[in-house]
Structure 1
């Protein structure tokens, strides 16, 4: 499931003036690395549970939550439990995790999401998750075709996915369904129609990507660019017809049902990363060229010993290219006036060449101070942002 924030691009930078950024952290990502099995396409930090590991994880999570609370001013709007499979935790384990977060960091006032594997859902568990304070479930449906699910190495079948989504909606949770596209032999139209008919209000549609080191890479599985592009375009066509709006490259929602937590990533907000492999983007003292810092925790074994990733200072130019890399994923794009205020750089002036070149190519459009990617620009976004990095 696509839960861990993507890696940031790197750039060199120098400061111009002190920006006015919110010093309060309002978003928390918690990484739960445990899964019942490892999917052949997965390259996240995940592992199957062993005796004593979850207990050690929960004890260290308590320690890290207290540490974060002592270092940052925290007023949470959103909490997101990703993985891994957070719903794979036993009821008492998940309750202990939530209790640690609440005692040290509080709880989200606007949205609290639990990533869910369909095979872990029951009416009693869905009610418990709601009682613990989760109001949104992100469900790893991936497909509603049994042959496709078998190819993807999923343990649930289509009937189980349908039942799980219905149970979660019946428990009063907002439900987002994950869908993987460009899978060989996948009946994409049927998958999309079926997911919509289940009543979800949000769909995350990701192209199957073969990452180095995964089981699919070892098997030599390939995804053809023509299939990627066809799935990319057909998904938008069908979901738009069903009343969903594409508000980010891979995410669609009914009006008002966008993921508030993920919007924080794409809008360049600061957030805490809690747990092994979790990434965080942190506020720092507003002096010199340092705007924020980012850090990714080590994997479980190192994290359990108290190791933390090295903090990487983010200067103004880093901050701008990060914001463009993430913000141009959004349909509404990036407000360059606001980005200039936050970064301390005159963004339209500093990146005038890259902006003009990509507008001329039809990859970006500039409407006043609002810079947006066109549909073709979305498809070539990495190439677009590289020009800003090199500018």
Structure 2
């Protein structure tokens, strides 16, 4: 079987296991039970082999997320990394492991580095014990500081996650404290109450004023500390941007491995079928089923992407970036004249001060970032 082109250069691996489920979390996660991790690792091996046979793969980035990948025992994370390397290779540019502060030790950090991980995304969330308790985190502020310090000292490029808009949170102290620990990247997410979560069942709410204040305070303070906001929720020192996440925002194809993992695939053919896709489809998206169905080999949800959907997806993701979207490049990639097709939506949002258009570069303004869903809805309805 000939693997289709173009080459896929990015891989996301989902590890669904967590020591506990946070009250705000709506990801596909679960606590480990006897035998489940072993079954998961066997299935990862099989799925990695299948992906290697179906697609041309030459990886620039690998991102192992969850869940809590660092919750895997040493032999388990070694086996997982081995399956990826054996069938799909390893990222030339960046290999990220998501890490819970409570799982870090000097020896474990050294093992992760030896396995080839060079970037750590650490779920700090806050450096205030009261805030961490409210968020249901299992680590405390001391563990978070020690974890980041250990990872920086082991040679990782470290990104720290923060949650903002928590009532009573000392946000400035959280930000300054995280930066002082030596991180080169910060991901700052507003606390969002998702349906079905424990917070939703408890009636927890987030005030819009707190949300907006956190949004603005984070950008202002990190800017003073030498970080650039290169995406709505992400800040980096020069050269410390997440290369893997940039692939998502730039509309690149990537493999999704593991239960609940989503992938964006070349449209040479639909996954699990011998037939070519229709000529007007550019890519396909597939979302794997959750763990128990995935373990049986059940097929995931497949969504063929035509030119118009490709463009609206690219606008939704690309407008999250400070650099915005190059409309000429998007026209070339999609075969659709983007400026002509969406002239009305572009003009209307420029008039409202939500977008700017300079040459071929379409960008969201700060107000446009705040109302990005509304902006993209205009394109969907065009």
**TMscore range, shorter length:** over 0.9
- Between the aligned partners of 1:339 and 1:182, the Cα distance in structure 2 is 35
Q: CA RMSD in A?
A: 0.9
Say which SS state the counterpart of residue 301 (structure 2) adopts: coil
Map of 1:3 onto structure 2: none
2:54 to 58, 71, 74: 71
Map of 1:111 onto structure 2: 94
Where does the alignment leave 5 or more consecutive residues of structure 2 unmatched? 269-276
**CA displacement at 1:310 relative to structure 2:** 2.8
Query: Which residues in structure 2 correspond to 1:165-314 (within 5 Å)?
Result: 165-285=148-268, 288-314=279-305
2:326 to 335, 354, 359: 335
- Between the aligned partners of 1:123 and 1:327, the Cα distance in structure 2 is 38
- Between the aligned partners of 2:28 and 2:137, the Cα distance in structure 1 is 17
Map of 1:315 onto structure 2: 306
- Between the aligned partners of 2:120 and 2:301, the Cα distance in structure 1 is 32
**CA displacement at 1:122 relative to structure 2:** 0.1
- Between the aligned partners of 1:244 and 1:104, the Cα distance in structure 2 is 37
Using the size of structure 1 for normalisation, the TM-score is 0.94
**CA displacement at 1:22 relative to structure 2:** 6.5
Map of 1:151 onto structure 2: 134
**CA displacement at 1:184 relative to structure 2:** 0.9
Map of 1:355 onto structure 2: 346
- Between the aligned partners of 1:288 and 1:47, the Cα distance in structure 2 is 40
Map of 1:45 onto structure 2: 28
Map of 1:129 onto structure 2: 112
**CA displacement at 1:308 relative to structure 2:** 2.2
2:336 to 338, 345, 355: 345
Where does the alignment leave 5 or more consecutive residues of structure 1 unmatched? 1-20
Using the size of structure 2 for normalisation, the TM-score is 0.96
- Between the aligned partners of 2:258 and 2:278, the Cα distance in structure 1 is 29
Q: Report if the CA contact (8 A) 2:5-2:55 is conserved.
A: no
Q: Report if the CA contact (8 A) 2:16-2:68 is conserved.
A: yes
2:368 to 355, 366, 377: 377
- Between the aligned partners of 2:373 and 2:79, the Cα distance in structure 1 is 40
The number of residue pairs the alignment matches comes to: 371
**CA displacement at 1:123 relative to structure 2:** 0.2
Say which SS state the counterpart of residue 311 (structure 1) adopts: strand
**CA displacement at 1:83 relative to structure 2:** 0.2
